[in-house]
A and B are shown apart, each in its own frame.
Chain A
Amino acid sequence: ILNVEQSPQSLHVQEGDSTNFTCSFPSSNFYALHWYRWETAKSPEALFVMTLNGDEKKKGRISATLNTKEGYSYLYIKGSQPEDSATYLCAFIYNTDKLIFGTGTRLQVFP
Chain B
Amino acid sequence: EPEVTQTPSHQVTQMGQEVILRCVPISNHLYFYWYRQILGQKVEFLVSFYNNEISEKSEIFDDQFSVERPDGSNFTLKIRSTKLEDSAMYFCASRDYKRGGDYNEQFFGPGTRLTVL
Chain A: minimal CB distance from B56 (Å): 6
Asked if A31 and B103 sit within 8 Å, CB to CB, the answer is yes
Given known contacts A43-B3, A98-B48, A103-B42, is B103 in contact with A93 (CB within 8 Å)?
Answer: yes
Q: Please name 16 pairs of A and B residues whose Cβ atoms are closer than 8 Å in the assembled complex, sorted by A.
A: A32-B103, A43-B110, A44-B108, A46-B105, A49-B103, A49-B105, A89-B43, A93-B103, A97-B48, A97-B95, A97-B102, A98-B33, A98-B56, A99-B45, A99-B106, A101-B44
Per-residue interface assignment for chain B, residues 98 to 110, with 1 indicating a CB less than 8 Å from any chain A CB and 0 otherwise: 0010111111111
Asked if A102 and B42 sit within 8 Å, CB to CB, the answer is yes
Name the A residues within 8 Å of B106 (CB-CB): 34, 46, 97, 99
Given known contacts A46-B105, A49-B103, A93-B103, is B110 in contact with A100 (CB within 8 Å)?
Answer: no
Name the B residues within 8 Å of A99 (CB-CB): 33, 35, 43, 45, 106
- B90 located at the interface, meaning its Cβ lies under 8 Å from any Cβ of chain A in the complex: no
Binding site for B on A (CB under 8 A): 4, 31-32, 34, 36, 41-46, 49, 51, 89, 91, 93, 96-104
Q: Which of B4, B31, B45 contacts A43 (CB 8 A)?
A: B4
Interface residues of B in 65-117 (CB under 8 A from A): 91, 95, 100, 102-111
Given known contacts A101-B43, A101-B44, is B103 in contact with A43 (CB within 8 Å)?
Answer: no
Binding site for A on B (CB under 8 A): 3-4, 31, 33, 35, 42-45, 48, 55-56, 58, 91, 95, 100, 102-111
In the docked arrangement, what's the CA distance between A31 and B43, Å? 19
**Most chain A beta carbons < 10 A, residue from B43, B45, B48, B111:** B43
In the docked arrangement, what's the CA distance between A96 and B54, Å? 13
Q: Which of B45, B56, B58, B107 contacts A46 (CB 8 A)?
A: B107
Name the B residues within 8 Å of A100 (CB-CB): 45
**Most chain A beta carbons < 10 A, residue from B33, B55, B104:** B104
In the docked arrangement, what's the CA distance between A96 and B48, Å? 10
Asked if B103 and A98 sit within 8 Å, CB to CB, the answer is no
In the docked arrangement, what's the CA distance between A49 and B103, Å? 7
